[in-house]
Structures are given as C-alpha cells and as structure tokens.
C-alpha cells in the first residue's frame, strides 16, 4: 500500500458529493513576495481575472508576464451548501504547478510540492456551511535543482527573476487542471488496490479496500450493467468466468461498485470502470495478457495553443482520434504525469501508457549539450537528498493515483538524467529500490526510464536497474544529420550491435527518435527541417528496428509540435511533431499510418 496523498477521483452518489469550481477566478502576481505579510489570503489588493484551468503564460500579450517567475495568487468565493453537514469537505486540485499554499477563510489548510499530481485541502474544520467562503492560493513556479522538474532561476538586470528550465518544454504554471469541492462521509473508502490473474478463459480480480468500515460488498457488472459477480470483505478475490480481457484491440471495461459497511450498514460507496489485464516482462518480451505486444506510438506533451498545459477534454479527444487513425497503441506521458482525464479516456480507447514522473533535467548538461560530451556529475551536488525525497514523493503520488488504470503498463522513473557515473547509479538504485521494496505498485508493473545518447552499451549504468530499457536516440538529427544520415545509420547499427552483444535479456523500446520538421517545408533532395527529411529519418529508424528482435516498441518524438522556451534551435517551439500544434497531419503522419497499420 502506498503512503502519501490519497485522493480518489471524485464521484457523485448517495454518499459523495462534488462540484467543479472551474470558472474565471481572481489572480494577482506577487513579485516581491509580500502577499503573506500583507494578508493577501484575506483579499487580493488588485486582482485581474484568470481562467481555471488555464495558464497566464499562454494568454498574456506581455513578455514579462509570459516568463513571470515567482509567487502569484488565485482567489475565489465558494458557496458551500448546508446539506453537506456531517461530511468531510475538501477542495481537490488536479494539480498546481509547481507548489501551492492553500488558505480557506484565511486559514492555511495545505501546502503541496510538485506541479503534476492531485491533492486535497481538507476544509472541514474551517468551512462555513450555507455561506460564501473564501478560497485563496499562493502559487510559486520557481524551478530548482532540489525539486522536479529541474532548473534554476537567474536574476535579470532589472531585478526580475527568470526561470531557466533544464528541459525542453515551456514551463507553464498555475492551476491548469480541474478544481472540485468534494464532500465524503466520515467513515469512507480511502483507497483500493486491484490485481489480476488470468487462467485460460477465467480470471480472478484480487482486491483490497482501505477505509474505516468493518467490511465491504463489491459488485462487478458487465458492459450492459448486468451483475457478473458479488463478493464481500475488505480483502478478497472475485472469480470471473468467461472473462472479457482488456487490450488495445478490445478495451472491455467492467463496472465495479464498492460499498463500505459498518455494523451491517452501508456508509460509503465508490464506483468506477476497470479492465481485466496483466502486464509482464519475460526475457526480451513485453506480455499483455500473456501475449507479446509491440508498442507503437508517441512521446507526447500536454500542450495546446492558448491552453498551454490546461486540461481540455476536446484536446484529449482529438489526440486520441488522431492516434486511432494513425494506428498506434501506446504513448508515454513525457515528462510528467498528465491530468487524470487522459488516463480515464485511454482506458476507454484502449491505449497503453508509460506513466512518467517529472524527473527531467537531472543532468549537468542540457539535452543539446548532451551530444557534445560536456560532463560534470550532477549527483555529487549537495541537494541530492532533498531531490531524492521529492522524487520519491512524486513517484508515490503518481503510482497511487494511476495504479488502477488498465491503460498504465509501466512506470518511467526518469527522463535523460546523467546516467553514466557511479553517483547516478547509486542515486537511481535507491529510487528503484524504493519502488520495489515498498511494493508501491500492487500490480508490480515494469519499471523503466528514458536514457539519452551518453548511455551507450559500454558507458551506461542505469539499464541494469530497468525492467524495460528505453532509449531516446537522435541519429540523423543531433547526431550526423542531413547529408550525413548514412553515417548516422552506421553509428546507430554499431550501438545496437553493442547492446545485442551485452545480451541483457530485457525488452528494449525507443521512447524518442525524430527530426524537427516545418509543415511548410518541402525539399528535393531532402534537407533537414523538410517533411521529406522527417520521412527519411523514420525510414532509417524502422530499417534498423527490424534487425533486432529484442526491440519491442517505438514511440516517436513527438505526437505534435509543442511550445518550448525561446532558443536558436527552436522555431516557435519544438517542431518534431508528426502532427502540427493544432493537430493536423504532416506528411510523416501518412507514412507512419502505412508502417503501423
């Protein structure tokens, strides 16, 4: 069982109530961090309006606001109806980027570190029922080497702070996911674990319910709502004869209804959808329901024009429709856990997810310098114990949040950290042991992490920790691009021969490969940045993939173009998308559709 924040996705029934608080909120920046001293949590002095979910950086017309770094505040009046008396009442945030202090009726009720995972602020003791209450949140978006994602802050000549991300996506911040008022009974279901066994045509669902009742009743229903099985007890197994398994080809979902009882009386209820499936690694194969599966898909971002990283169910739907059209079965939530609505929809669509913690930028070189051989160990710096603690907290919260999604098939514990030194090995050994020894995931799904180009067969130290070895490779782009693409292919084959010789007996997947491409550019012969060149790079990679039978998947970088910081190698952001930022196909989309279908 995981420790840390436990916050089930809100549901509404006889026992539970929730109300979305999304709308225009009040907003004010606090560049001198005077808000606490001047009691801004009572009332903001000069607020402007700001959408929740939303992010100021994508909405402003001013550069200093776009890159604003530091403290800022949100404020909202919340009416809490009196029929919620005798309930536990909380405000639930889908996430706040990167850290938050929550005040309710001027009382500090919660602080939370980490910008991509949900948390609840319990307001039961301070709420005024049947009245308008005041909610205020102090947010801070500064990057540091002690938190994830990593970066630092520089001071500009006019005294303003400026974030320097050590990662290649725009550091959008604020309240970018849903916010709810939630009410739950005093005696309640706090959490539940599910585990599956499949034998031939039947399956067993092993469940454990955490809560303050003496027993539970669990009902499984089929797609049409007919009862399949009923079981009782806080910990037990349900036999399912003729089980319909969940897979990308057939994402069959059962309904599960959990009722918690105390002295024979139902005190709480929680319902959701589940799919029966198993995931294992066996030798060099990844097995879904005991059958080998080849992963085809993308590294993605939560990113869209005007929205930044703000959750939009329309974007989720469009992305998944494009992914179905192109014929993929998998994506990685590079480089942070996405909003919960992505996973709920992936369960329905049948996409497999490699769920990634925001451990990006743990390196003394950045992703471009990475190819230039600059080296200074990141993990010798004195901030590592704080970093490790935050890293572990975020892994715990991610697994806790997502463990019951059938779409999640693996956990990615890092993206491109320093990976060749003793220090990094020891740091990550602790991180991987933390997950395994504490049995954070009841289903013990495979662990992985994305390795950058320094991790060659003779230098890498982290693949030995991984159940699946994930490589990010840019042969034909950062390594020997354009007219040198043949050399790139040779180097790539040399590397893969090296891995083959090591005979790690583990599945390998490619979690990144690709080329920046402007949708406007055509060139004959192909040149870098043109659509023809993106196709050439894809052909080159697929040609090499088919030569090695331990390669079990390819997730191309990236699903769509996305916003980054300004840089001389970025034209309006990263252009490696197979779709444009507004989700229209580049030529490569038609090529991949052929290769993947």
Tell me which residues touch ligand GCB (CB under 6 A): 167-168, 367, 415-416, 452, 472, 512, 557, 574, 576
Closer CB to ligand GCB, residue 284 or residue 472?
472
Name the minimum Å distance from CB 182 to ligand GCB: 34
Closer CB to ligand GCB, residue 396 or residue 511?
511
Closer CB to ligand GCB, residue 406 or residue 558?
558
Name the minimum Å distance from CB 20 to ligand GCB: 32
Residue whose C-beta lies closest to ligand GCB? 168
Closer CB to ligand GCB, residue 304 or residue 557?
557
State which H helix or E strand residue 198 sits in. strand 189-199
Answer whether 555's CB lies under 8 Å from 161's CB: no
Q: Give 208's contacts (C-beta < 8 A, 6+ positions apart).
A: 1, 192, 193, 234, 235, 442
Of 398, 511, 493, give the one whose Cα is nearest residue 450: 511
d(CA 153, CA 15): 46
543 by DSSP, 3-state: which? helix
Closer CB to ligand GCB, residue 110 or residue 335?
335
Name the minimum Å distance from CB 517 to ligand GCB: 11
Is there a catalytic annotation at residue 512?
yes
> Hey, CA dihedral for 412, 366, 32, 21, is it positive or negative?
negative
Instruction: Give 254's strand partners.
Output: 274
Answer whether 398's CB lies under 8 Å from 411's CB: yes
Q: What is the largest CA-CA distance in the chain?
A: 77
Closer CB to ligand GCB, residue 78 or residue 148?
148
304 by DSSP, 3-state: which? strand
Given the residues 302, 416, 452, 554, select the one marked as catalytic. Answer: 416
Answer whether 46's CB lies under 8 Å from 28's CB: yes
Name the minimum Å distance from CB 464 to ligand GCB: 21
Answer whether 80's CB lies under 8 Å from 106's CB: no
Alpha-carbon distances of 74 from 38, 46, 77, 99, rounded to whole Å: 15, 12, 11, 13
Closer CB to ligand GCB, residue 166 or residue 405?
166
State which H helix or E strand residue 299 sits in. strand 295-299
Is there a catalytic annotation at residue 219?
no
442 by DSSP, 3-state: which? coil
State which H helix or E strand residue 206 sits in. strand 202-211
Given the residues 58, 269, 356, 512, select the one marked as catalytic. Answer: 512
Name the minimum Å distance from CB 291 to ligand GCB: 30
Name the minimum Å distance from CB 480 to ligand GCB: 15
DSSP class per residue in 330-354: EEE-TTS---HHHHHHHHHHT-EEE
Name the minimum Å distance from CB 45 to ligand GCB: 39
Q: What is the set of active-site residues?
A: 416, 512
């Amino acid at each position: 069982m995981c420790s840390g924040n436990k916050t089930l996705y809100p549901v509404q029934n006889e026992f539970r109530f929730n109300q979305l608080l999304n709308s225009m909120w009040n907003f004010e920046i606090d560049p001198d961090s005077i808000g606490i001293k001047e009691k801004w949590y009572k009332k903001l002095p000069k607020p402007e309006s700001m959408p929740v979910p939303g992010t100021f950086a994508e909405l402003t017309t001013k550069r200093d606001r776009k890159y604003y770094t530091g403290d800022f505040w949100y404020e909202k009046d919340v009416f809490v109806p009196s029929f919620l008396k005798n309930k536990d009442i909380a405000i639930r945030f889908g996430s706040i980027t990167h850290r938050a202090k929550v005040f309710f009726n001027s009382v500090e009720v919660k602080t939370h570190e980490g910008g991509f995972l949900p948390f609840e602020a319990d307001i039961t003791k301070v709420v005024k029922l049947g009245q308008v209450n005041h909610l205020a949140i102090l947010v801070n978006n500064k990057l540091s080497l002690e938190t994830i994602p990593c970066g630092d802050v520089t001071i500009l000549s006019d005294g303003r702070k400026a974030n320097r991300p050590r990662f290649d996506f725009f550091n959008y911040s604020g309240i970018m996911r849903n916010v709810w008022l939630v009410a739950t009974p005093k005696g309640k279901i706090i959490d539940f674990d599910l585990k599956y066994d499949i034998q031939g045509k039947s399956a067993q669902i092993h469940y454990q319910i955490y809560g303050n009742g003496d027993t539970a009743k669990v009902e499984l229903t089929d797609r049409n709502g007919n009862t399949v099985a009923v079981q009782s007890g806080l910990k037990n197994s349900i036999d399912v004869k003729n089980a319909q398994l969940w897979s990308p080809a057939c994402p069959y979902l059962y309904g599960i209804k959990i009722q918690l009882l105390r002295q024979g009386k139902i005190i709480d209820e929680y319902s959701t959808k589940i799919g029966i499936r198993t995931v294992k690694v066996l030798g060099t194969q990844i097995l879904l329901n005991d059958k080998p599966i080849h992963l085809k898909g993308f590294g993605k971002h939560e990113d869209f024009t005007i929205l930044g990283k703000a959750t939009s169910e329309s974007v989720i739907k469009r992305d998944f429709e494009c992914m179905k059209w192109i014929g993929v079965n998998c994506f990685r939530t590079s480089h942070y856990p996405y909003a919960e609505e992505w996973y709920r929809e992936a369960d329905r669509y049948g996409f497999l997810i490699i769920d990634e913690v925001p451990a990006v930028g743990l390196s003394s070189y950045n992703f471009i310098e990475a190819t230039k051989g600059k080296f200074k160990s990141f993990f010798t710096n004195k901030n590592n114990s704080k970093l490790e603690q935050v890293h572990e907290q975020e892994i715990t919260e991610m697994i806790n949040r997502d463990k019951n999604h059938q779409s999640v098939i693996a956990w990615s514990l890092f993206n491109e950290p320093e990976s060749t030194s003793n220090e990094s090995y020891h740091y990550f050994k602790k991180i991987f042991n933390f997950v395994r020894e504490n049995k954070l995931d009841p289903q013990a799904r495979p662990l992985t992490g994305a390795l950058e180009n320094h991790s060659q067969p003779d230098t890498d130290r982290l693949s030995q920790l991984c159940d699946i070895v994930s490589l990010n490779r840019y042969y034909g782009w950062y390594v020997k691009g354009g007219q040198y693409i043949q050399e790139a292919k040779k180097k790539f084959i040399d590397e893969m021969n090296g891995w083959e010789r090591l005979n790690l007996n583990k599945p390998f997947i490619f979690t990144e490969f690709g080329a920046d491409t402007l949708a406007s550019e055509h060139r004959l012969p192909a040149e870098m940045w043109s659509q023809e060149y993106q196709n050439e790079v894809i052909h080159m990679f697929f040609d090499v993939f088919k030569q090695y039978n331990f390669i079990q998947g390819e997730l191309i970088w990236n699903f769509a173009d996305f916003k980054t910081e300004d840089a001389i190698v970025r034209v309006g952001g990263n252009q490696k998308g197979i779709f444009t930022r507004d989700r229209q196909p580049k030529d490569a989309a038609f090529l991949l559709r052929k290769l993947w279908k």
